[in-house]
Structure 1
Amino acid sequence: MNNWRRLLVILFVAQIVLWQQSFVPPTLASKSSASSSMPSQQSKKVTSIHTCLPALDLSSCKPSESMKKTSKLILQAIAHKEAKADATCWTTVRMMEHFYAGRELSEHAALLKIEVGKLILFSLWARASNTSRKCTLSEADITNILPKQLKPEAQVHLSPTHKIHNPLLRTKLRHYHRITENWRLLLSLALEQMAGHGLFASGKQLKPLSRRAAQLLAQTSTHTTIDLLNKARKISIKRSHRHITVKDIQAAYVHFKKQWKLANHKGCLGGLHLAKTSSKKQSPSSQPKKQRRQTQVSTRQHLHKLTLQNIEAKIRSLKSRNRLVWKEKRQSVRVLINRIIPDVTLTKDGFESLVTLLEKTAGLVGAGYLPMRNDTYMLFQTYLQWSQKNPAFVAQKHRPKHLLNIEWVFRVIEQLIPRKTLANGDVHFYLLKQRDQKNTHVVKLLGYQLDAVRDTTLPWWILKRVWKKHPSMRALGPFAAELLVERISELALLFL
Structure 2
Amino acid sequence: MKKSYIVLLFTLIIPFDSLLALPPLSQSTQILERIGKQESAKDATCWTTARMMEQFYSQLPLSEEAALLKIEILKSLANQIWNEAGALRSSCRISKKDMEEVLAPYVAQVNSTFSSPEGLQARSEYARITENWRVLLSLFYQTELKEKKVLASEALELFGTSLTDITLLFLHLSSREAKAAGHREVQPEDMKQALQKLPPARESKSVLAETCPSISLAYEDLLAVTKQNVHQKISSLQSWNKRAWKSELERKRGEHDIALEFLAKVSPVPLTRKAQSYVLDAVMKAVRYISKGYYPERSNLMYEPLTLFNYHPIWDRSAQGKPLVLQSDHIFNVTQELFPRYTDIRGDVHLRLKAKHGEEKDTNILLEGTYLDALRDTTLHWWIMDTVWSEEGALPLEPLAAELLAERTSEMIGAYLQIAALGVEKDTEPLNTFDIQLRVHRFHLLSPERPEQYVAQWKEGLSSEHKLQYFKDRTSETIFSQFDCNQLSREASKKLQAGEFPDLSIQLHSGSGIAVGDLNSDGLMDLFISGTNCNRLLYNKGNFVFEDKSESLPNRSKLQSARHPLFADFNGDGSLDLLVVQSNNPSQIWFQTGDGNFRDVTEESGIQSGTGAHFAVAFDYNRDGKLDLFLGHYGEGNNPALDGKNGVLSQLYQNVGQGKFKNVTQEAQLHTTAWSLAGVSADFNGDGWNDIFLANDFGFDELFLNKG
What is the TM-score with the length of structure 2 in the denominator? Answer: 0.49
Unaligned runs of 5+ in 2: 1-21, 206-215, 302-315, 418-708
Equivalent pair of 1:109/1:244 in contact (CA under 8 Å): yes
Q: Following the alignment from structure 2 to structure 1, what is the Cα–Cα distance between the partners of residues 29 and 338?
A: 33
State the partner residue of 2:261: 335
The CA deviation at 1:127 is 0.8
The CA deviation at 1:155 is 7.0
Equivalent pair of 1:370/1:396 in contact (CA under 8 Å): no
Paired AA for residue 138 in structure 1: S
The CA deviation at 1:370 is 1.1
Q: Following the alignment from structure 2 to structure 1, what is the Cα–Cα distance between the partners of residues 50 and 179?
A: 22
Question: In structure 2, which of residues 398, 412, 415 is the aligned counterpart of residue 494 of structure 1?
Answer: 415
Question: In structure 2, which of residues 248, 269, 272 is the aligned counterpart of residue 347 of structure 1?
Answer: 272
Deviations 1:463-483 (A, max 9, x none): 111111x23210111111000
State the partner residue of 1:381: none
The CA deviation at 1:68 is 7.9
Does the residue aligned with 1:371 lie in a helix, a strand or coil? Answer: coil
Q: Higher relative contact order by CA 8 Å / sep ≥ 6: 1 or 2?
A: 1
Pairing 1:131-210 to 2, within 5 Å after superposition: 131-150=88-107, 165-192=115-142, 196=143, 200=144, 205-210=147-152
Q: Higher strand proportion, which one?
A: 2
State the partner residue of 1:424: 346
State the partner residue of 2:321: 398
Q: Following the alignment from structure 1 to structure 2, what is the Cα–Cα distance between the partners of residues 479 and 461?
A: 17
Q: Structure 2 vs 1, CA of residues 172 and 189 (structure 1 numbering), >3 Å: closer, same or farther?
A: same
Q: Structure 2 vs 1, CA of residues 114 and 231 (structure 1 numbering), >3 Å: closer, same or farther?
A: same
Deviations 1:270-302 (A, max 9, x none): xxxxxxxxxxxxxxxxxxxxxxxxxx9x82221
Does the residue aligned with 1:146 lie in a helix, a strand or coil? Answer: helix
Deviations 1:71-126 (A, max 9, x none): 01100000000000000000001000000000010001011111111111111101
Is 2:80 aligned against 1:123? yes
Is 2:198 aligned against 1:241? no
Q: Structure 2 vs 1, CA of residues 437 and 138 (structure 1 numbering), >3 Å: closer, same or farther?
A: farther
The CA deviation at 1:395 is 4.9
Of 431-440 and 348-357, deviating more is 431-440
Question: In structure 1, which of residues 84, 90, 96 is the aligned counterpart of residue 53 of structure 2?
Answer: 96
Pairing 1:204-283 to 2, within 5 Å after superposition: 205-256=147-198, 259-261=199-201
State the partner residue of 1:454: 376
Q: Following the alignment from structure 1 to structure 2, what is the Cα–Cα distance between the partners of residues 191 and 436?
A: 51
State the partner residue of 1:3: none
Equivalent pair of 1:67/1:207 in contact (CA under 8 Å): no
Equivalent pair of 2:263/2:276 in contact (CA under 8 Å): no
Does the residue aligned with 1:450 lie in a helix, a strand or coil? Answer: helix
The CA deviation at 1:394 is 7.4
Q: Following the alignment from structure 2 to structure 1, what is the Cα–Cα distance between the partners of residues 358 and 80?
A: 50
Question: In structure 2, which of residues 296, 321, 331 is the aligned counterpart of residue 371 of structure 1?
Answer: 296
Paired AA for residue 480 in structure 1: A
Question: In structure 2, which of residues 43, 49, 71 is the aligned counterpart of residue 114 of structure 1?
Answer: 71
The CA deviation at 1:310 is 0.5
Aligned residues: 365
Q: Following the alignment from structure 2 to structure 1, what is the Cα–Cα distance between the partners of residues 408 and 336?
A: 10
Q: Following the alignment from structure 1 to structure 2, what is the Cα–Cα distance between the partners of residues 204 and 490?
A: 37
Q: Following the alignment from structure 1 to structure 2, what is the Cα–Cα distance between the partners of residues 234 and 104?
A: 12
Equivalent pair of 2:38/2:130 in contact (CA under 8 Å): yes
State the partner residue of 2:630: none
Equivalent pair of 1:459/1:489 in contact (CA under 8 Å): yes
Equivalent pair of 2:299/2:337 in contact (CA under 8 Å): no
Q: Structure 2 vs 1, CA of residues 117 and 360 (structure 1 numbering), >3 Å: closer, same or farther?
A: same
Does the residue aligned with 2:197 lie in a helix, a strand or coil? Answer: helix
Paired AA for residue 345 in structure 1: P
Q: Higher helix proportion, which one?
A: 1
Is 2:244 aligned against 1:322? no
Q: Following the alignment from structure 1 to structure 2, what is the Cα–Cα distance between the partners of residues 334 and 454?
A: 14
The CA deviation at 1:358 is 1.5
Identity of aligned pairs, percent?
33
Deviations 1:133-167 (A, max 9, x none): 2222221221122243426xx8789xxxxxx8511
Deviations 1:8-57 (A, max 9, x none): xxxxxxxxxxxxxxxxxxxxxxxxxxxxxxxxxxxxxxxxxxxxxxxxxx
Q: Structure 2 vs 1, CA of residues 144 and 375 (structure 1 numbering), >3 Å: closer, same or farther?
A: same
The CA deviation at 1:262 is 5.3
Aligned CA RMSD, in angstroms, stands at 2.8
The CA deviation at 1:399 is 1.9
Is 2:191 aligned against 1:305? no
The CA deviation at 1:414 is 1.4
Of 203-212 and 457-466, deviating more is 203-212
Q: Following the alignment from structure 1 to structure 2, what is the Cα–Cα distance between the partners of residues 243 and 156?
A: 26
Equivalent pair of 1:430/1:441 in contact (CA under 8 Å): yes
Question: In structure 2, which of residues 285, 292, 313 is the aligned counterpart of residue 360 of structure 1?
Answer: 285
Q: Following the alignment from structure 1 to structure 2, what is the Cα–Cα distance between the partners of residues 86 and 263?
A: 41
The CA deviation at 1:336 is 3.2
Does the residue aligned with 2:275 lie in a helix, a strand or coil? Answer: helix
Equivalent pair of 1:428/1:445 in contact (CA under 8 Å): yes
What is the TM-score with the length of structure 1 in the denominator? Answer: 0.68
Deviations 1:407-438 (A, max 9, x none): 11111111111110011011011222369996
Paired AA for residue 213 in structure 1: A
Q: Following the alignment from structure 2 to structure 1, what is the Cα–Cα distance between the partners of residues 53 and 358?
A: 37
Is 2:412 aligned against 1:412? no
Paired AA for residue 232 in structure 1: S
Q: State which structure, 1 or 2, has the greater radius of gyration over its C-alpha atoms.
A: 2
Q: Structure 2 vs 1, CA of residues 137 and 325 (structure 1 numbering), >3 Å: closer, same or farther?
A: same
Unaligned runs of 5+ in 1: 1-64, 158-163, 266-295, 377-392
Does the residue aligned with 1:442 lie in a helix, a strand or coil? Answer: strand
The CA deviation at 1:339 is 3.0
Does the residue aligned with 1:428 lie in a helix, a strand or coil? Answer: strand
Equivalent pair of 1:124/1:262 in contact (CA under 8 Å): no
Q: Following the alignment from structure 1 to structure 2, what is the Cα–Cα distance between the partners of residues 263 and 315?
A: 42
Of 301-310 and 84-93, deviating more is 301-310
Paired AA for residue 261 in structure 1: A
State the partner residue of 1:473: 394
Q: Structure 2 vs 1, CA of residues 188 and 212 (structure 1 numbering), >3 Å: closer, same or farther?
A: same
